[in-house]
Structure 1
Amino acid sequence: MDDAVAIIGLLCILQKKRQRRKRMWCKHWLLQRKQYTHNNLLKEIRITPKDYRNYLRMDEETYLLLLDLVTPRIMKQDTVMRSAISPHERLTATLRFLATGRSYEDLKFSTIISPQSLSSIIPETCEAIYSVLRKDYLKFPRSQEEWKRIAALFEQRWNFPHLLGAMDGKHVTINPPRGSGSTYFNYKKKHSMVLMAIVDAQYQFILCDFGTNGRISDGGVLQNTTFFQKLQENDLNIPAEEIVTNSSKSLPYVFVADDAFPLRTDMMKPFRQAELDTREKKIYNYRVSRARRIVENCFGILATRFRIFHTDINVHPSRIESIVMACCALHNFLIKMLPNSYISPECFDREQTDIGHVTPGYDTNHSTMEPLQQRNIGNTARTPKMIRQEFMNYFNNEGQVPWQNNFIK
């Protein structure tokens, strides 16, 4: 009996050894990265700048600058077991992931990097991109002078005085983690997390706040931000009310938003459709919407250049933030570095002022936030209404533009 047990035990040990011998340390073709990697293609298309820009969303000079910035944060040491994946390979794989939205499993065939490695490389590189770019390319105004510079550009380009930024939120669709239930389930019957943003007159983000799950109401999304807390506490160094240029009216500095946000003394939004009973209100709505469309176009540009936003991002929520924030930082970086190639004319709304027609740019009128009129929001305080009335009077008198009557019916 003992001999039989010993024989069986020996057979089990030998079988396990055979199984262990069959396991590969690494797939053979993954070891041929230098031969098959997509970076070889990248070398060939350098002679065609348009294709290079399309592949990485930037030209070679800009890419090399970005690579130089992130290399200290993503470089790994070689070991006696294997050579480390280079910063160049890490960055190109990450940019291709953001540009296409392809899965790790699909991306492995062009990068010759295993999905397991990509799952750590891409979030880590995104964190590095955001870290090195945020200081210079995603700065939030800290002083009254900075706010006034933003407002001056809005007045110059969009004929809206004392405007500090266009605000909106975008639901970023995700593949929810197992066991999350309805935590991320939004009113559009999709799972999402919300990107709350404020944009300046040049289509650049001045604030990005990401992470609130899509189930939270829109008022709750705004209230979850540090920005809103500081706004309520008057801790943003926003300039005090001043007289508008070429006018005797004194108006406060404000942000513009749509119906998903509350009407406040520092936040203007359009009149509801049911309230548009006068020509003056329609003019006001046109002027507010004209300025507010900037943020919608900005979201459209972001999603068009980085197709990851057209997919259900299949990454754990804890790592999605680094991906989204890296895209926002890259957006600002590329606007400054490549203003003519990154943003083409079709990105923007084009107004034909003589006939009162708007040709939509990217993502116009596709705000993904739920309008507040679908909720029972109660009465709005009188003071914000009075300020809205003052802006309306300004737009219909000394602040009018010659073509505004062409855009109302």
Structure 2
Amino acid sequence: MDEERHFSYFRMSAATFDQLLHRLTPQIAHAGSHRAPVCEAERLSLTFRFLAAGISQQALAASYKLGTATVSKIIKEVCQALWVVLQDHVRFPHGEQWEAIRGDFWRLWDYPNCIGALDGKHVRVKAPANSGSSFFNYKGFFSFILMAACDAQYCFTFVDIGAFGKESDAGVFTRTKFGEQLIQGRLPLPPHAPLPGTDVLTPLVFVADEAFPQKINLMRPFPGSQQLSQEENVYNFRHSRARRVIENAFGILAARWRILGRAMECSIETAEDVTKACVALHNFLSKGDQSLPEQHRYIPPGMVDTEGAPGEWRQVIQGDTNLLPTRRITAARATQDGMVVREIFKEYFQTDEGRIDWQDRHVRRGTLLN
């Protein structure tokens, strides 16, 4: 492929590649030895091909006429460097960033006072040496957990990578610093804010699925589908519209970085480095490279779910993804305060200030989003 097509395959322009290479060079440069080292540009290009195409290290080594051990070392070093230089793109929000995220969730997804969508996934790995059953999960394969929250535009704002796969039944969320502080109400979040068009104050909240507990800053849908009232179904529909942002973020991640399409055949440590690099690159490229045509950008039109059609990422992965759902990921119970907050949102969605015109139609048609 020619140079421009080569870089657009990685969803970046040649200028963006050069910018990233400049930032990475101090981290990945190697001094000369008895033979010439692989240059920094080739090391980065090789790693991008591994991440984006999901090609095996053996095939990659043959393509670049390098030893497999050399390729393995390059991938590990470059992935570690990508996390170091791009980690500022995966920072926990603060100050005015919270307000921007809150505004985006209301403007784009019709959920007020929401500051993130939260979920966890298994990342499959080849059976690690001497791991015993630590990484063997309830689905019958080896994995570690990727826990993440994202903003309203599919960028990850928090990630925790590496919990043992067997911990997915309960407890893994509370073992992360983020989860522990959120469950205990100690996460440094902005103060309560009024619901749009009212003087009713609510906490700022994250939305999640039924695997998570109901807490004062963490909303889950009303359980059950057959006995719910119309108002509860409307709440679940509005909740689902906001929560599916994290589903789409994971879907884009898996579609763009096809290394996440199969169990990684490397050490647990390298698999974690690879996952971190994919997350950092996802956020770095999600903002869009304006020099590329729209269809070649990281998130082109039609890539994500809309009310009218599923996102194209679903066609790309077609079930072939290494990011698989967890079960209940915390043993924490719902709190009364959390249920009260959810009731306030439910009632707000029935008011003139909080309702959207087509919510009842979607609920009547049974088109609640998953």
Distance 1:393 1:380 in 2: 20
Q: Distance in 1 between matches of 2:192 and 2:332?
A: 28
Counterpart for residue 113 of structure 1: 66
Structure 1 unmatched ranges of 5 or more:
1-43, 353-357
Q: 1:253 to 1:245 in 2, by over 3 A?
A: same
Which residue of the partner structure matches residue 26 of structure 1?
Answer: none
Question: What does 1:361-376 align with in structure 2 at a 5 Å threshold?
Answer: 362-363=313-314, 368-372=324-328
Name the aligned partner's letter for residue 347 of structure 1: M
Q: CA deviation at 1:170?
A: 1.4
1:284 lines up with 2:235 in the alignment: yes
* Aligned-partner Cα distance in 1 for 2:255–2:54: 11
Q: 1:383 aligns with which of 307, 317, 337?
A: 337
Question: Which residue does the alignment assign to 1:104?
Answer: 57
Q: Is the 8 A contact 1:198 1:208 kept in 2?
A: yes
8 Å Cα contact 2:76-2:270 kept in structure 1: yes
TM-score with structure 2 length normalisation?
0.89
Q: 2:213 — aligned with what? A: 262
Q: Residue 271 of structure 1: CA displacement?
A: 1.2
Kindly indicate whether residue 93 of structure 2 is the aligned counterpart of residue 141 of structure 1: yes
Distance 1:122 1:259, change over 3 A: same
Kept in 1: contact 2:213–2:333 (CA 8 A): no
Measured after TM superposition, the shift of residue 50 of structure 1 is 3.8
* SS in structure 1 at match of 2:250: helix
CA distance in 2, matches of 1:206, 1:380: 24
The whole-number CA distance in structure 2 between the counterparts of 1:275 and 1:264 is 24
**Which one-letter code corresponds to 1:196 in the other structure?**
M
Higher relative contact order at CA 8 Å, sep ≥6: structure 1 or structure 2? 2
Change (3 A) 1:276 1:53: farther
Post-superposition Cα deviations, 1:282-301, rounded to whole Å, max 9, x if no partner, equal 00000000000011011111
1:196–1:210 contact (8 Å) kept in structure 2:
yes
Higher helix content, 1 or 2:
1
Task: Tell me which amino acid in the other structure corresponds to 2:135.
Answer: Y
SS in 2 for 1:346: coil
**In the alignment, does 2:302 pair up with 1:346?**
yes
Residue in structure 2 matched with residue 45 of structure 1 by the alignment:
2
Identity over aligned pairs, percent:
36
Structure 1 residue 181 displacement after superposition? 3.1
Deviation at 1:273, TM superposition (A): 2.1
Structure 2: give runs of 5+ residues left out of the alignment: 365-370
1:83 paired with 2:40, answer no
Q: CA deviation at 1:241?
A: 1.5
Find the aligned partners of 1:383 and 1:370 in 2 and give their Cα distance: 26
Aligned residues: 353
Q: Does 1:92 align with 2:45?
A: yes
Query: In the TM superposition, what is the alpha-carbon distance from 1:395 to its structure 2 partner?
Result: 1.1
How far is the alpha carbon of 1:248 from its aligned partner? Answer: 3.1
Give the aligned residue type for 1:83.
A
Residues 218-367 of structure 1: pairs in structure 2 closer than 5 A: 218-232=169-183, 234-274=185-225, 276-338=227-289, 340=294, 341-352=297-308, 359-360=310-311, 362-363=313-314
In structure 1, the partner of 2:368 is: none
Using the alignment, how far apart are the partners of 1:57 and 1:195 within structure 2? 23
Q: Is the 8 A contact 1:169 1:195 kept in 2?
A: yes
Match of 1:16 in 2: none
Distance 2:40 2:326 in 1: 41
Letter in 2 for 1:156: R
Report the alpha carbon displacement of residue 372 of structure 1 after superposing the two structures with TM.
Answer: 3.6
* 1:249 CA drift (Å): 2.0
Separation in structure 2 between the aligned mates of residue 116 and residue 242 of structure 1, nearest angstrom: 55
Q: Residues 290-345 of structure 1: CA distance to partner in whole angstroms, max 9, x if unpaired? A: 00001101111111110000011011112222111111110111112427411123
Letter in 2 for 1:382: Q
| TM-score using structure 1 length | 0.81
Change (3 A) 1:317 1:280: same
